[in-house]
Amino acid sequence: MKHVVQRMIDWVEDHLFEGFSLVELSEKMGYSPYYCSFKFHQITGVSLKRYMTLRKVYLSSIALKDTNERILDIALNHGYSTQESYTRAFKEIVGVSPNVYRQNPMPLQSYVKLTMTIGEMHTMDISKKLRIKNLQNNMNEQFDVDVLNILNGEEMFKKFKEQQLMGASDYAPFNEAMCINDTTYPIFSPKFNEMRAQGHKVMLQSYEAITLATLKNNLFSKKYACIVLWFGEDMFCQMNLLTVLAYLEQINYEGVVYYHAVQEQTYDVEEIVLQLGGYRSLYKTVLMEKRMPSVDMMPVMYQGTKLYLELQKEMNEITKYIEGHRHLALNELVSRLLKVFPQYGLGDTQYIEIIDRVRKS
């Protein structure tokens, strides 16, 4: 059935900005409208309407950032009948209006065309390597080598090592998964460490060796003129990023903070300067109280927060997908979840825990 859904995706992409007709799609596929709609949602984890909205908003964001087209023209060119309907859709997904985004374009989640085929291994092309090295050289020129690079987790740290992307500055992985288990404040206090260790079902000593030891010789003990945060677009990375930013406020860090937003499949990087202020409050509201903040956030963190709060629901899009695919073997189900929900950034271990919980309920 995957090849049929891929044909649907291909057809939708070819008609993305036209008046969508489920009847016309069903005629092209040779199935009933209901069956097409049902199978698309079952296989991809998202409805046809939602998929089209996510794709149109994402593609329109590129036009907002890279062209001088009027917002009305961008709306019409991307399949919206009015600027008002476009603004509503854009703000619901990105958290700010198209006009606000254009005035201050900040990172947001990439939503590329879905593919149901088995993905090839991504290799980092030379242009991405040069881009990363140029960013690092610029930092070293500005701040000498008084720079700390914090990378999202051991995998990114290993990737940088393998690709020989370590510059002259200090590097440290942030080995946590803040999108799962409870947390508290202050960050990295004894209470925090104990709570996180219990949540991960490891001894405190193991937690300290995995998470704290990687930060002990730099973030906890040295003063840096600049800290560069290399974190991806997905929910997993964004909750980690929020925690690190809240911690920098907690210790009253006074240097410059850069966020290098990494598209972890291609390793495209977008660089912005972040102003500290308000992240402790966001951390408490989102990760401790588990509710949506009333203040503005950069789009990629807004999107990550919405996904994080969706994950907290007993019946969310991931658990519903698992319910609908109970017949699959564990390895196959995990493989599909990794493919269908890349925006969450969860790994095998997290998915196995969720599957086990759903199957026991």
Chain segment 248-284, per-residue pLDDT in tens: 999 999 999 999 998 877 778 899 999 999 999 999 9
Picking from 272, 352, 275, 301, the residue whose alpha carbon sits closest to that of residue 108 is 301
Same-domain pairing of 180 and 283? yes
Q: What is the structure's pLDDT at 121?
A: 45
Instruction: Check residue 120 and give its pLDDT.
Output: 47
Percent share of the chain, pLDDT over 90: 77
Measured between alpha carbons, how far is 94 from 266 in angstroms, rounded to an integer? 22
Q: Are 154 and 133 part of one and the same domain?
A: yes
Q: Within a domain: residue 282?
A: yes
Decide which of 153 and 131 is more confident.
153
CA-closest candidate to residue 270, choices 66, 122, 70: 66
Assign 112 a pLDDT band (cuts: 50, 70, 90).
confident
Residues 17 and 91 grouped into a single domain: yes
Which range among 1-15, 76-90, 306-320 shows the weakest confidence by mean pLDDT?
Answer: 1-15
Query: Is 119 contained in some domain?
Result: no
| DSSP 8-state secondary structure symbol assigned to residue 151 | E
**Do residues 224 and 318 both lie within one domain?**
no
Residue range 162-169: mean pLDDT, rounded: 80
Q: Does the pLDDT of residue 231 top 70, yes or no? A: yes
Residue 116 included in any domain = no
Could you tell me if 297 and 155 lie in one domain? yes
* Domain assignment of residue 155, yes or no: yes
Domain span including residue 61: 2-103
Q: Are residues 221 and 338 in the same domain?
A: no
Task: Give the CATH number for residue 65.
Answer: 1.10.10.60
**Domain check: are 29 and 62 in the same one?**
yes
- Kindly state whether residue 120 falls inside one of the protein's structural domains: no
The DSSP code sequence of 37-58 is HHHHHHHHSS-HHHHHHHHHHH
Residue 186, preceding peptide bond in cis (omega within 30° of 0): yes
* Residue 118 located in a structural domain: no
Q: What percent of the chain has pLDDT over 70?
A: 96
Identify whether residues 142 and 237 lie together within a single domain: yes
Burial class (CB in 10 A: 0-12, 13-18, 19+), 18: exposed
What is the count of structural domains for the chain?
3
Q: Are residues 301 and 332 in the same domain?
A: no
171 with 274, same domain?
A: yes
* Residue 110 counted as domain residue: no
**166 and 84 co-located in one domain:** no
Say what the pLDDT of residue 126 is.
Answer: 62
Does 115 fall in a domain? no
Question: Do 73 and 162 share a structural domain?
Answer: no
Query: pTM to 2 decimals?
Result: 0.91
Rounded to whole angstroms, how far apart are CA atoms 264 and 280? 26
3-state DSSP assignment of residue 322: helix
